[in-house]
Chain A
């Protein structure tokens, strides 16, 4: 059994609003080659297993795992696909290595959102086919209702949610991989059209195309391969109720439970003291605030106020989404969690360029699978 597992290579392609000149396979290949070069591994010789994350309806292909091995170098090897976020892929690779049967495993996630002409209709197919889908609501309504409940329960304001957008899109200006960088005011955000009241369109991440590959290794292999392995100190994931009728609307219980699992592995009791920075879900701006509270950084109702005061800016006490988050980098569908994890790896390695944070040792990554799911995952990484 291997106890410790590290990320030893990262590679990515994108992120851009559209990539008409390349297929998803080419995006994956591009990211994979960079990740293997970064780790100094040959996929045919060294990588023993491959984990991809994908959903059939996003790909327009049933049992999409069929089309994953070639561009990753995984043909005739142990390849599997998880219908989860990229962090579920990382968790899977983490478990595979800990069994002791595998030393080097690659994880891949991608988005070719620009290929999907009718994403809202596709997402509607994720609603309960008997109880909800016949109502023919755009699935964003779930986020609108959830935001409304969250604001009501915690006293958070729309302005505080808009502050998340201003912060993250400004952060994205320093990230060359982020296509949605902008210098906005609160009024710019709040004056936009409504998506599903009280959720505004400008508080919602646009989509982007991209692919991310990470190479994970056991402690022994990691120390042979690279000088600065990034350790997975803890990883957790959890589902709450899928039914709209019986879920808790105000709080992200799934994130709280996933965090509890990750914290207990990492031995963290006081997240705000132990963790230097975080990359969390912000597909909708209010989710960043709700998530920070679920992660135990703040009490319910505090996140909005502290965000408005600048506590979570790159210069603040707990920098959150220095990469720009999904609001700045674009929503990468199932690869979203890997994009957040990528930023944490780059920061911990000191390779984040203009947005590099000083003296960081432990970073947190969190992801949520979007409406209408209640599926969250959390990882703690250290250098």
Chain B
């Protein structure tokens, strides 16, 4: 028997902000409601709910999935929460996909929520608890340091300059200036601004980094026979993939994300994609740091190793280029409420492929896009291919 086709039929998102007044439950409710309204459904139409949120430490709530359940709309419904660290935002639609593709459900609500501002004074401190309790935590590591190690390794291996990497931040923040939910959109930012920003852990500077944020995003998934009744423009989930590497990240060569490659190959195989550079028209790689977008474009096989930056230099990555990258504005521009930021990329592909992305609509009626997230200890890749 062939596989059941699954479509995205609705999407909604809250504004991404530095400090939301709403509780995590309320953010979840807002996004769920917007997604339902976008396709004129109600909770009565939803058969199951999938939730993504990254560490419990941000909300400071044990069994946070249980706490968020009614806000997400899971009252008296089958409900599960999955997580793969920062990769969760692009994993939770995969979870929704297998709920529908299994044949157990026809219509599923997928929600990702993150409220990082509750962690006082700064969410960065929560990340101390992701490291190995015996070998690493005693060193008081912080995410900026390990990103600095990886960025440095990437730059020195391929001889890429900081100026060129800064182009990523500039393009994404420009794009985000056209996104109504963005936290750090900036139409006027320049490479000089990035290079002159405060150094956090060399070579990482403040404007190389996405902001800590609060927000929620929801999408509605439906099986083929239902999707065509809900909308004239379903966007199909054509391929999914995920790969989790060993926890011993210090043994890894940080120059290349092999786990992203494995996840991408799994998704491409399922989608029947043999030449991703020709068959993918929009890329939403995970960009918590500017070099990360380059790193991930290479893992996704959309650029040769060490050559992803040429997409930015040549203009191919721009909204009117041949391979628009992060037309949403990405995490660097829209903001980075961890799990919600990943699902934002799925929502962006949904809007772009339906031609509903407003001022950020990419040129040339794109047919297929890829969204990807990354997470854990330089460890996990999650990939979704969407097409119309």
Residues of A bordering B, CB below 8 Å:
1, 3, 55-57, 60-63, 65-70, 74-84, 88, 91-92, 94-96, 98-101, 122-126, 128-130, 236-243, 253-254, 257-258, 261, 265, 369, 372-375
A122-B62, A128-B67 known; A240-B76 Cβ under 8 A:
yes
How many residues of chain B have a CB within 8 Å of chain A?
A: 66
Q: How far is the CA of A95 from the CA of B102 in the complex (A)?
A: 5
Q: Are B270 and A101 in contact (CB under 8 A)?
A: yes
In the complex, what's the smallest C-beta–C-beta distance from A339 to chain B, in angstroms?
A: 19
Closest 9 CB pairs of A and B: A62-B55, A125-B62, A95-B102, A98-B102, A79-B244, A63-B85, A99-B101, A126-B62, A57-B62
CB contact list, B87-122 vs A, under 8 A: 91, 95, 97-99, 101-104
Q: Is B83 an interface residue (CB 8 A)?
A: yes
Residues of B bordering A, CB below 8 Å:
1-4, 23, 54-57, 59-67, 69-70, 74-86, 91, 95, 97-99, 101-104, 126-127, 129-130, 132-133, 241-248, 258-259, 262, 266, 270, 375-377, 379-380
A61-B129, A98-B104, A99-B4 known; A261-B78 Cβ under 8 A:
yes
In the complex, what's the smallest C-beta–C-beta distance from A124 to chain B, in angstroms?
A: 8
Q: How far is the CA of A63 from the CA of B53 in the complex (A)?
A: 10
Partner of A83, one of B57, B83, B246: B83
Across the interface, name the chain A residue whose C-beta is closest to B375.
Answer: A63
Please indicate the chain B residues that have their CB under 8 angstroms from the CB of A80 in the complex. 82-84, 91, 95, 242, 244
In the complex, what's the smallest C-beta–C-beta distance from A220 to chain B, in angstroms?
A: 12
Across the interface, name the chain A residue whose C-beta is closest to B67.
Answer: A242
Partner of A99, one of B78, B102, B379: B102
A75-B246, A77-B244 known; A239-B75 Cβ under 8 A:
yes
Q: Are B82 and A81 in contact (CB under 8 A)?
A: yes
In the complex, what's the smallest C-beta–C-beta distance from A266 to chain B, in angstroms?
A: 13
Q: Are A101 and B127 in contact (CB under 8 A)?
A: no
Interface of B is mostly: mixed
Most buried by B among A55, A68, A76: A76
Please indicate the chain B residues that have their CB under 8 angstroms from the CB of A99 in the complex. 3-4, 97-98, 101-102
In the complex, what's the smallest C-beta–C-beta distance from A55 to chain B, in angstroms?
A: 6
Please indicate the chain B residues that have their CB under 8 angstroms from the CB of A92 in the complex. 80, 82, 95, 98
Q: A81-B84, A84-B65 are in contact. List 10 more A-B contacts (CB 8 A).
A: A56-B56, A62-B57, A62-B126, A68-B247, A70-B248, A78-B244, A80-B91, A96-B102, A239-B74, A257-B76
Q: Are A74 and B76 in contact (CB under 8 A)?
A: no
A and B contact pairs by CB, cutoff 8 A, 22 listed: A55-B63, A56-B62, A65-B83, A76-B243, A76-B258, A78-B266, A80-B242, A81-B82, A83-B63, A83-B64, A84-B80, A91-B80, A92-B95, A98-B103, A99-B101, A125-B62, A128-B67, A257-B76, A258-B78, A369-B63, A372-B66, A375-B69
Q: How far is the CA of A67 from the CA of B248 in the complex (A)?
A: 9
Please indicate the chain A residues that have their CB under 8 angstroms from the CB of B74 in the complex. 239
Q: How far is the CA of A61 from the CA of B245 in the complex (A)?
A: 18
Q: How far is the CA of A332 from the CA of B243 in the complex (A)?
A: 28
Across the interface, name the chain A residue whose C-beta is closest to B137.
Answer: A61
Most buried by A among B3, B4, B84, B99: B84
Q: How far is the CA of A112 from the CA of B164 in the complex (A)?
A: 48
